[in-house]
Structure 1
């Protein structure tokens, strides 16, 4: 018996040694990383496989769920490609309801809100405000209408009214990256706050304007920082009021400085913005207004215009390249709308988990609260992320998915950052022609995030 045990141990040791010899530099670099003071109290997970064979190259805590931050976006993207299709487009219908007299119309225009995250966005030529104004005007002219006495209203049905997912923290909610996914989205539910800093550190900061104009006011607790201090300003919505607190610092010695915030009442703000577009053309004349948003009702009247979003592959490009959290939440809700009849975050998560469970990823490995990774409650294993990336590589939509990934450190990968969390996951082809798929997550590190990033890159460089 002792002889057989000795042989078994010897064979196991040789097999393990061969795995190490495949990329000995990676093993060495990762062991050095684990001894670094920045991760002394951190949870670290790294999983690397050979893309061609699927064999494990390195696995450390690969089935321990950690907060993924924005690396979660690769899972949401792949799910959307698989369930919605590369050519999927959101469609927002505009309805007439009233009476036509000659070339005039007495009645309202209704927007059937569809959760389109690109409506009004300047990222695409066909979705910005100017393009929508032109298309609406053209559609009205084709219908023989050159003036409307009425107003614009939004109709919201089959959409969960909770724009912000569970688990997002208060500090994020007033800032652009914390914009919620409402039924009607306009300009990604963001606005710019234009500021005038002082000429030296410590001086007060003046608020010049908001672009576009917002219906709420600000409590200004900002001060001027040093020239190189950067943007350290944050916006906090004040519960139960139409006010927001803005505090922190912005750098001195500039004529103006812009920070971006999240619109507090996005459905109402979107209606007002589209109504303003039609008023600018001179077609719409608003004489009397009633509630601009109608809930749980069918849109009345007849469709005269449909605004289609760009295709999913275009949206995923910006979702991953610019890490737009709102896109992830909108896509998650669309999964639920298509699969269960109502745009609901929790239902979207369930469909996402079921989809990957059917493909070998256990539900417990994807334990999430949103589709973007902004929630610090999210947990995912590096094994799950790598399995999703490996699956994506075999799909017809892979080229679009791969193209959406940013390039950092000469590698195609999605990054993720929230408080004390850093992550990278993606693909890399070495100089020797071997392709690797990897996920690298660190939670609860200490010290500088930029310093940790360089140390993580040093480990990943061994894949080159």
Structure 2
């Protein structure tokens, strides 16, 4: 069999190209003999295959799979929605729809449009409805820390459920001119923020996340010329109320995916992942629904044994991929390869955890055109994955 494969390779590749494949394989083996490395061309020929059957922890290259699933299920033009209601006592109800990009710039747009619709007469209070996500939602791998990558996922959250501020003594101010500082943000940053400038995630208590969302939305309504006189609470929107304003996220899904792949934001990734299941099966969103959709799609492409997901960002160490499985996902994702914007300017995505360094994506070569590659190392040496990629690009 090996002789037959070698003979086929000799027929398919010119002698110089085949020599390049051999030299690259040797170079890869000399640089990192224990690494998982797979390189495939557009005809699905395996140009380099080292330890390619060994399952590995993908870390953030998991986001490539999430992006593929999202483009297939939701589509690049999909937009998240947040709904606003006003009762006869001028109580403002807000129902979250899992929008991952309710950042300050978006909230400023929302407030301006909302005030234009409901007028400047004081709002008697804000009621937040986050029932689109279950209250006990927990993403495997997320821990109770102040690190921004551990931010709580929520149906209604602002600024990625994080606070970016500057602390000097007992004084806290916003680190962003576009973002007002709120009482809860000050309290949280004093308790858990660093001295000087930094970004922290809010606690894993959903009530804290919602309170901050309410405070920040109220602050933007005030900036837009409106007025909020009452407090902030949580409850379901009354069934008889109709929305006075439905905000559709200004960014289509395709642009959101560019950002999540570029900055490797776990919060955005799992918000998108949760929407996949809710869109297919209806709300409320749940991890179980999204995993069901993912597993059905993976099975349809013969990938059940090669791609195992626990969540959609890569923060769980129980996610497991094989190189051949991820390479097949890259083939399916190829029409959207331009969504990948690697730190080195290439079409790739890194993954990093303690003892894990991964890199996957597409590379353009002289003799073999655009190839798909997967690299995984059980190492904290993040530079080695790029050394391997450079060897692949130079030799092929």
Q: Same fold (TM over 0.5)?
A: yes
The question of whether the paired residues in 2 share the 8 Å contact of 1:346 and 1:369 is answered with no
The reply to whether residue 390 of structure 1 matches residue 390 of structure 2 is no
Normalising to structure 1: TM-score of the pair? 0.74
The reply to whether residue 60 of structure 1 matches residue 50 of structure 2 is yes
- Superposed displacement of residue 131, structure 1: 1.8
Render the CA deviation track for 1:415-448: whole Å, top value 9, x for unaligned.
11121211111111212362211111112x25xx
d(CA) in 2 for partners of 1:428, 1:31: 19
Equivalent residue of 1:147, what SS? coil
Structure-2 change in CA distance of 1:146 and 1:325 (3 Å): same
Match of 1:267 in 2: 210
Render the CA deviation track for 1:218-243: whole Å, top value 9, x for unaligned.
79xxxxxxxxxxxxxxx9xxxxxxx8
Render the CA deviation track for 1:178-230: whole Å, top value 9, x for unaligned.
2122010211211113145xxxxxxxxx46415333527779xxxxxxxxxxx
Match of 1:461 in 2: 393
Equivalent residue of 1:284, what SS? coil
**Aligned pairs, number:** 379
Higher helix share: 2
- Superposed displacement of residue 96, structure 1: 1.1
Match of 1:73 in 2: 63
- Superposed displacement of residue 279, structure 1: 3.3
The question of whether the paired residues in 2 share the 8 Å contact of 1:112 and 1:299 is answered with no
- Superposed displacement of residue 87, structure 1: 0.8
d(CA) in 2 for partners of 1:9, 1:275: 68
d(CA) in 1 for partners of 2:322, 2:301: 15
The question of whether the paired residues in 1 share the 8 Å contact of 2:86 and 2:241 is answered with yes
The question of whether the paired residues in 2 share the 8 Å contact of 1:155 and 1:299 is answered with no
Bigger radius of gyration, 1 or 2? 1
Structure-2 change in CA distance of 1:121 and 1:28 (3 Å): farther
Match of 2:134 in 1: 160
The 5-angstrom pairing of residues 137-176 of structure 1 reads 137-140=115-118, 145-170=119-144, 173-176=145-148
d(CA) in 1 for partners of 2:343, 2:108: 34
The question of whether the paired residues in 2 share the 8 Å contact of 1:167 and 1:369 is answered with no
Unaligned runs of 5+ in 2: 175-180
Match of 1:184 in 2: 156
Normalising to structure 2: TM-score of the pair? 0.86
Of 84-93 and 424-433, deviating more is 424-433
Unaligned runs of 5+ in 1: 1-7, 99-105, 197-205, 220-234, 236-242, 251-256
Render the CA deviation track for 1:377-410: whole Å, top value 9, x for unaligned.
22111212110110122xxxx2xx3222123545
The 5-angstrom pairing of residues 16-165 of structure 1 reads 21=19, 23-35=21-33, 44-51=35-42, 53-98=43-88, 106-122=89-105, 127=106, 129-140=107-118, 145-165=119-139
